[in-house]
Structure formats: C-alpha cells, structure tokens
Amino acid sequence: MTPSTADRPVMPVEDFEELASVAPAHVRLEYVDGRVRTRDPLSVEDFEELERRAPETVRLEYVNGKLEVKAMPDGNHCSIYMWLLRQFLLQRPDLNLVPESGVKAEACRKGRARTDATLAPVDHFKGDGEWSDPDGSLMALEITSRDRDTNKRDRIDKPVGYAEADIPVYLLVDRDNNTITVYSEPKDGRYHSSPSYPWGATVEIPAPVNITLDTEKLKDYAD
C-alpha cells in the first residue's frame, strides 16, 4: 500500500460531523484517527437506521458487526468500473452489472455490504429495498479504493462475507498491486479457489459468470 493511501483519513471530519448530527439518539459515534466508530455495540437494525439518515457523501457498511465507511470512488475507480461494464454487456447481455448494490452478506445475512457492483440477471433486484438478499446474485465486484482500510475491508473481510452468503464469484480489482483476484467455489464460509492475475493477463471468470477478460486495458488506469 502506498504511503499516500496509508495516511489518508477514511472519513473527512466534515462528513463525520454531518453524520453525527443525524444519527439516532442511542447511536453514539466517535471520530478516532480519521475513522468513525460507535461507542456501543451496533445492531444491524441500528445500522440500517443510521444508514438511511446518512448524508449522500457518506457510504456506510456493516461488517463483522462493526460500522465501516466506504470511500467515494475517484476517476480511475470509475473508469475501471465502466470498462468492466462494457465487457460484461458484450459477453453477457442477459445480465446486469448493478453498481452500488446493497447486499445482505455474511453468515445468516447479518452483514450489510455495499458492493461496487453485483452481477445478476436482468431485473433481478426489481422491487427490492436498500439491502437485497444475495440469493440469485452471480458475482460481487470490488475495486480497491485509496484509503487505509481497503486492505482489511476488500482483501480480508469481503471474501469471508461474500463466501458466507454463497455468492458464487467475488472479483477483486486490486489497484495497489495491479492484480485481479477471482474468488470462487464458496463452501463452509470461504472461497476455495482464489487465483490472482497481473493486469494485462487473460482472466477466465468461471461459472456461473463464464466470461473472459483481456485485462491489458487496465494498465491505462495504473496509479
């Protein structure tokens, strides 16, 4: 991880102050070392209420029973997503790569993850609320962000949460290492296959996704 990433606050103090001003009275927030934390244990119900009240500039997740903040995407992050969207539209027009999808993750659906995108059949999420059941989702996508929590969130916690929810594939585009990792074969709360490929390689994404990515274009988005 680059020094600039390691030094960057996860949440600007202005965003914390706005979030704290709208938090439910019994949800006590604190700002420590650039991160927002709760002073007391947070239930999933309290998280959902806090998330509903959060300002548009704040994206919240509930991971391992804790409040997490997901960084806003920068230009290269958005460009990578748009490139991937075009590849999926060309190869799997029967599917949608839905951005900013709220997923009930982890064991017993107790986590609340906001994927960078979720791959699912067209209209799969029709009628759903903010947080969708993972059943029927084919793939979760995460593109690492430039904040110091990305290692634990995207490389450690998300593979567990998505595997426990039985999402068949988790695709991680890692901007710190310039790699793509394809997690698949979820069983007993973990993915049993997780090969990584350097940007520029040809990447086969297995069933039920079944597409091939020529990732040479990703080199254009190396920071």
- For 162-212, what is each residue's pLDDT tens digit? 999 999 999 999 999 999 999 999 999 999 999 999 999 999 999 999 999
Span 28-46, pLDDT tens digits? 999 998 889 999 999 999 9
Token couple for 112: 């609340």
Q: Tokens for 205? A: 């994404």
Q: What would the pLDDT profile of 112-167 be if each residue is shown by its tens digit? A: 999 999 999 999 999 999 999 999 999 999 999 877 788 888 999 999 999 999 99
Q: What is the mean pLDDT of residues 50-60?
A: 94
Task: Examine the pLDDT at 223 and tell me if it is beyond 90.
Answer: no
pLDDT at 3 over 90: no
Distance from C-alpha of 218 to C-alpha of 178, rounded to nearest angstrom:
8
Across 165-177, b (16+ Cβ under 10 Å) vs e yields bebbbbbbbbbbe
Q: Are 38 and 16 in contact (CB under 8 A)?
A: no
* Spatial contact of 28 and 17, defined as CB atoms under 8 Å apart: no
Average pLDDT of the residues of the chain: 93
Is this model's pTM higher than 0.95 or not?
no
CA nearest to 186, candidates 107, 81, 112: 107
